[in-house]
Amino acid sequence: IQVTFITREGQALEVAAAEGASLMETAVRNGVAGIEAECGGACSCATCHVYVEPQWREKVGEANAMESDMLDMAYEVAPNSRLACQIRISPELDGLTVRLPMRQV
Ligand code: FES
């Protein structure tokens, strides 16, 4: 399963993702800069904020209530904002592309 992170500088980083891992873990394991993930994936820090590319929004789905509340803490939240620790990698997400925000919180 391949996923792509578009960095703040606009560079596309394609990395291999393991099924069942979170998108946040995938970023951290691959040394993708810009995901801080201070809480380690507990949905309580909002420093794993990403923007899901429009064509992927439906497949990725919407944030649940707890995630939406936490997203309020993030910097420049948009309708396609998600917390990467709450996105679970599955084969359906092969090719997923997300953009990193200019900064976390
Ligand atoms: Fe803390 Fe995602 S890693 S909210």
What is the whole-number distance in angstroms between the Cα of residue 36 and the centre of ligand 1? 8
- Domains of the chain, first to last: 2-99 (3.10.20.30)
Ligand 1 environment, Cβ below 6 A = 24, 37-39, 41-48, 70, 83, 85
Q: Residues 3-18: pLDDT tens digits?
A: 999 999 999 999 999 9
SS3 40: coil
Given this model, what pLDDT does residue 41 score? 98
Query: How far lies 43's CA from each of 10, 13, 14, 54, 55, in Å?
Result: 26, 24, 24, 23, 24
Q: Residues 25-47: pLDDT tens digits?
A: 999 999 999 999 999 999 999 99
What is the whole-number distance in angstroms between the Cα of residue 92 and the centre of ligand 1? 22
Q: Residues 36-87: pLDDT tens digits?
A: 999 999 999 999 999 999 999 999 999 999 999 999 999 999 999 999 999 9
Above pLDDT 90, what percent of the chain? 99
